[in-house]
Homo-oligomer: A and B are copies of this chain.
Amino acid sequence: MYFEIQRNAEISLSKQIYLSIVDQIRSGFLQEGMQLPSVRDLSKQLEVSLVTVVKAYNELEQDGFINSVQGKGTFVNAERKAAADTQTEALPFNWQLSVQNYLPRSQFARFHHVPEKIHLSSSMVDPGLLLNRPLEREIQQILSENPKIFSQYGEIQGDSQLRNAMYEYLKKAEVPAEPDNLLVTNGSQQGIDLIARTFIGPGDVVVMEAPTYPGAIDVFRGRGATILTVPVDHSGMRVDILQHLCDKHKPKIIYTIPTFHNPTGVVMTSKRRRQILDLAQSIQSIIIEDDPWSEVYFNKKPPAAIKSMDHYGHVIYLKGLSKTLAPGCRIGILAASGSIFNRLLAAKANADLGSPLLTQKILLPFIQSKKMTDHMKKLRTALRIRRDLVLDLLSQHSPDGVSWVIPEGGLNLWISLPSWIDTNLLLLEAKKQHLSFLPGSACYPVEQENHHLRLSYSYMSEQQLHQGVTTLCSILHSEISSKKLHDHSPYF
């Protein structure tokens, strides 16, 4: 088991232990029936008092995560375990359990590929709306134009033609980034990971929105970051609270998804974008602007990216192309400048020596042409229809006490339930009916709220959405009307 205890953090040591164990259970690292270290051993290992460990274990037991058996020890509880997709250690490999790792959390992956019939848990786009036919049609030409496409390494930085094309594309969106300042990554996920491995080490402060994208939390936690959180309102990240945090802690990195924020769908106002940039400049911080789907707006175009105002190289801008174009190619673009860019390029070399040339060349004709903007237009229309359908269904069928934020773009809908409902448990119910969603707790970097869920309306057909949302509503009805299933957990 891997613990990182930060003595000068705002959050108490017992709560750190609590959260660390919850994260490991939810990541599948601690599995049903596994034994936890004794109170004495853990207190010795972490150099904290016995009382601190006892407090953490008591709260874990109260909340149903673990079970103490008199005279035998403390074990991970079956009730609250994550979906068991990995097996307990087989006998000949038992020695491996003593091999320490540096992996505190990997929650997002557990929801990314859930083979449920009605899959509402990850923000993927219906393959029917993406590029299959157009790419298939052109492939012979791409091959004949690039005779050595299979047999040559691409540049570590990414294919120069693709970087030129992305430069032109981003320029139209007012994101200024010369081809030399663009790096091709394996999706935005790798972009976040490269930044974290280059600039974040134990105790470095990262500020994130709460809730936020779970894949980014996994990455920063993996680097031992001290994560501080800022809530989100209808205008985006609360800059007033960010300001206080910055004054006190001078974060190294501020991670934000300003446009159609994941998971809430909220758009940050122009004013706040300007303020955040000013703040980063004043304390010499780096902003990561994660922008996977600003093209997918339903009413008006969102404000220009923070990167568009960045003259001093504070913003590292990530444009994922996986979700909205071609997941099968796994391509993302990172834009940065100066030595920050050069160091990220070195990190990319160390990580994998560059993304495959093939996937880059295949997308090139599409990105270079008008087809790219036409495609985004089509996507807007199609996803708007699905969003509207889901909103209609929720209005009709959801019980009292359920609320949501209307997303003006993007792929996700954030739904809040009465505070005594734990969506991790609700998911177990939903799975019995072949339905999946993302439990909100996965989106919180530190203190977790359990009564939200994220529903992605982008992947399923209208018919499936209909079935999914009505099923979800009927589960909610019976949960809320029974009210017996759960006790209010005093901890959260």
By the criterion CB–CB under 8 Å, are A95 and B284 in contact?
Answer: yes
Residues of B within 8 A of A128 (CB): 151
**A residues apposed to B, CB below 8 Å:** 27-29, 86, 89-90, 92-93, 95-103, 106, 108-109, 112-113, 124-125, 127-128, 130-132, 135-136, 139-140, 143, 147-156, 185-187, 189-190, 193, 197-201, 215, 218-219, 222, 252, 284, 286, 311-313, 322, 326-331, 337-340, 342-343, 346-347, 349-359, 362
Given the known inter-chain contacts A139-B139, A148-B127, A152-B127, please indicate yes or no for A99 contacting B328, CB distance below 8 A: no
By the criterion CB–CB under 8 Å, are B356 and A330 in contact?
Answer: yes
Residues of B within 8 A of A362 (CB): 150, 358
Q: Which 10 A-B pairs have the closest CB atoms?
A: A93-B338, A109-B349, A130-B151, A127-B151, A106-B346, A186-B352, A330-B356, A190-B352, A328-B357, A93-B313
Q: How many copies does the complex hold?
A: 2
By the criterion CB–CB under 8 Å, are A329 and B358 in contact?
Answer: yes
By the criterion CB–CB under 8 Å, are B197 and A156 in contact?
Answer: no
Residues of B within 8 A of A102 (CB): 197-201
Of the A-B pairs whose beta carbons lie under 8 Å apart in the complex, a sample of 24, sorted by A's number, is: A89-B338, A93-B312, A93-B313, A93-B338, A93-B340, A97-B339, A98-B284, A103-B350, A106-B350, A109-B346, A109-B353, A112-B153, A127-B148, A130-B150, A131-B151, A136-B150, A139-B139, A153-B322, A186-B352, A189-B353, A219-B350, A327-B357, A330-B352, A330-B355
By the criterion CB–CB under 8 Å, are B156 and A113 in contact?
Answer: yes
Kindly state the separation between the CA atoms of A326 and B356 in the bound complex, as whole angstroms.
10
Which of B101, B252, B312, B337 contacts A199 (CB under 8 A)? Answer: B101
By the criterion CB–CB under 8 Å, are A286 and B99 in contact?
Answer: yes
User: Other than the known A222-B350, A328-B357, what 8 A-B pairs have Cβ atoms closer than 8 Å?
Assistant: A93-B313, A103-B347, A109-B156, A109-B346, A139-B139, A151-B328, A153-B328, A330-B355
Which of B93, B197, B219, B328 contacts A339 (CB under 8 A)? Answer: B93
Candidate in A136, A215, A337, A351 with the most chain B CB atoms within 10 angstroms: A351
Min Cβ gap A469→B in Å is: 23
A180 to chain B: closest residue by CB? B87
Min Cβ gap A193→B in Å is: 5
Min Cβ gap A255→B in Å is: 15
Which of B127, B286, B328 contacts A154 (CB under 8 A)? Answer: B328
